[in-house]
Structures are given as C-alpha cells and as structure tokens.
C-alpha cells in the first residue's frame, strides 16, 4: 500500500475496482464495517472512509468485516480468529473460557491470547465485556429495567456493570436507560471564520462543539447524541456561562486569541477518552502524527484506531484533534472538512510564532 496514493485508493473505491481487492481495505465510520475496494454496498461519503493496508489494521481500529464483500475470505489465521470473534459475539452472555476459545482457533490458550491481542489490540475477555456492554445498552433502549438488562447481558452482578458503565457510557445506567432523560443541555450558535459553530453544555461542562452551515443540521446532531435530554437554547438569563464560553471559543477561532480552558463533559469509551486526554496536552502550534499518539498512549500498533477516535470526537477544537496529522505530514482526515482543519492549523501556527517573538 506504501506505493499507492490516497487519491488512487479512493478512486479504486469510487469505481469499485476489483483489481485492488486484497491490496488495501477501507472502513466506513458510520457503519463500523471494513470492505474490499470492489464492495457493492452503498457508497460512503469521502469524509467517512478510513484506509487500511491490511485486515488486522482495520480490526484493531474497531471495524468489523463486511458481510456483503467478505474481506476476510482466504486469510487462514484471520479466519480462525474471526470464528473466535463470532463465537464470543453469539455467546457473550455466557461464561466463556480461554480453553474453549483455543479449541475453535486450534491454538493453545496462551498462544490464542497473544495472537488475538496482537491482531485486535484487546484480549478475548475485554472483547466479550465490550459485546456485553452493547447488549446491555440495547436492552435499556428496548425498555428493560436496569437490573434485568444487567443480567441478560451476562454481567452477573450490578456492581460489575456500574464499574464498566462509568468508562463506556459517560453517564450512569439509569440516565442512559432513558436516553439522557433528566439531563439539561444548553446550546448556542456563533458564526466563525470556519463556518457556523454550535456549542452544547451540561452542568459539568462543554459536551458538544460541532460545525456546519445549517442550524437545523447541528441541532439534529445534538439530538442524536442526547436523544432524550432536555435541550435549551442559551439566553443570558438562563445560561450566562455558555454565552461566555462560546464567545471565548469564537474569539480563539476567528481572532486567534489563546484557546480557552473550559470545563469539559467528555463521554466515550476508555480508549477514546485516553486519546482525547492526550490531545489536550498538545501545545498550540504543534502537531503530531497518528503513530506518535499511539506510541505516547502506550499502544504503538493502534495508529489507525487513533484516527477513528479522532473521528468520533464531538467536542471540536476544544479537544484539538485537528493537530493530529498523517505520518507524511499530510492533513489526514477531519470530520468537519480538511479546509477547516487547515485554517485552524495555519492560525495556530501563526499565533505560536507571534508568541515566540514576544517572548524573545
């Protein structure tokens, strides 16, 4: 894949060129699957596509094989591991031993543990817990009580799921069960030099910063993130802090003043939050590569997963995912468009140069 340009790979995906099948793979962040270039599924938007040199990289990044184009066919070791993955998914609510999984993979338990983690970045046990958490969340959305959802997902105890949920849900199970009901989120809009910005905040801090050209689109995105929370447009009387926060961020974006240090209400998986917290440490004017972030957080093989975590960031600019670039210095991806990413980087680099001169 090193000899292929991104333009050439994206063109192969666009025309569904079978000659590139097996040469590289692409993931679609909106569906969570990865495919062969010739996949006949509905074409994804360019900004939602992630490129991978091999199957292992796609799966470490959190994508699962497409059931339409079957990108894992013909790969013997991966096929055995996929059988293990499928078994875990269909028996997640049961007690699964490493020995039983090793029989499926035709490997010793210790070897399976090592190979599984090398390939997917997590252990079989962690993967099972992740599937259980998905089952738990689905049960809550379907209207089951918290207690029934806990046991039907196979957690076995209430204390166990509360420990897991604090890392994966961003809110306690009772609040998640009602889609965020009971939470109040104030929001406001501002026009910036990179387009219309919307900020939302809970009583803990900013939970949402997104960009688009249409207020209705931004509001619908907030509703998707917090489907049953009470959404209130900010006024000076009801939420003076938010008015100050969004104006401070607007001045940073449009006038180049330092990025405001605002309280954040960050919600995501363990891995995502780990990545986002690291991004907060990157100095204004500096950039790092996806591989460097992976190295810094102690997971050097997770460069692709870093890109996915950046793509899932819903607090734009305040969590500065725009400061992460490809290894060759190219922009890479950005969920709000590469033009916006370039503007932010140029402004920050210019501001950093000015501050350096002043310091001298």
- Which active-site residues does the annotation give? 35, 321
DSSP states along 173-222: HHHHHTTTTT-EEEEEEEEETTEEEEEEE-SSSEEEEEEES-HHHHHHHH
Token pair listed for 33:
């699957």
Burial, 259: exposed, middle or buried (Cβ in 10 Å; 0-12, 13-18, 19+)?
middle
Is 18 strand, coil or helix? helix
Token pair listed for 74:
């013909």
CA distances from 125 to 70, 94, 301 (A): 25, 12, 19
Q: What is the rounded CA–CA span in Å between residue 276 and residue 260?
A: 16
Name residues whose C-beta falls within 8 Å of residue 156's C-beta, 6 or more positions apart in sequence.
Answer: none
DSSP states along 285-353: T--EEHHHHHHHTT-TT-HHHHHHHHHH--BBTTB-GGGEE-TTS-----TT-HHHHHHHHHHHHHHHH
In this structure, the chain runs to a length of: 360
Give the angle 352-354-355 at the CA atoms, nearest 5°.
65
């Amino acid at each position: 894949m090193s000899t292929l340009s991104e333009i050439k790979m994206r063109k192969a995906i666009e025309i569904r060129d079978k000659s590139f099948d097996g040469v590289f793979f692409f993931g679609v962040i909106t569906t969570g699957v990865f495919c062969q270039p010739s996949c006949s599924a509905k074409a994804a938007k360019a900004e939602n596509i992630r490129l991978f040199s091999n199957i292992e990289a796609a799966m470490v990044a959190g994508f699962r094989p497409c059931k339409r184009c079957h990108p894992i066919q013909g790969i013997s070791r991966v096929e055995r591991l996929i059988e293990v993955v499928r078994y875990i998914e269909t028996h997640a609510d049961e007690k699964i031993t490493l020995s039983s999984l090793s029989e499926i993979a035709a490997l010793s338990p210790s070897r399976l543990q090592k190979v599984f983690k090398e390939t997917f970045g997590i252990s079989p046990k962690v993967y099972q817990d992740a599937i259980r958490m998905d089952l738990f969340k689905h049960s809550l959305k379907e209207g089951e009580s918290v207690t029934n959802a806990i046991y039907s997902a196979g957690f076995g105890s209430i204390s166990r799921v509360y420990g897991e949920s604090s890392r994966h849900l961003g809110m306690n199970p009772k609040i998640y069960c009602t889609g965020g009901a009971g939470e109040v989120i104030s929001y406001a809009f501002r026009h910036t030099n990179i387009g219309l910005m919307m900020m939302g905040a809970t009583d803990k801090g900013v939970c949402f910063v997104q960009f688009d050209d249409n207020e209705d689109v931004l509001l619908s995105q907030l509703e998707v993130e917090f489907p049953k929370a009470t959404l209130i447009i900010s006024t000076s009387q009801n939420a003076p802090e938010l008015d100050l926060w969004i104006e401070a961020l607007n001045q940073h974006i449009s006038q180049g003043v330092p990025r405001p240090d605002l309280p954040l209400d960050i919600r995501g998986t363990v891995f995502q939050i780990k990545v986002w917290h690291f991004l907060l440490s990157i100095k204004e004017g500096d950039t790092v590569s996806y591989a460097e972030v992976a190295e810094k957080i102690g997971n050097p093989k997770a460069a692709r997963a870093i890109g996915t975590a950046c793509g899932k960031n819903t607090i734009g600019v305040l969590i500065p995912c725009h400061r992460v670039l490809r290894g060759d210095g190219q922009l890479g991806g950005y969920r709000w468009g590469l033009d916006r990413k370039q503007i932010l980087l140029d402004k920050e680099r210019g501001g950093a140069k000015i501050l350096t001169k002043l310091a001298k």
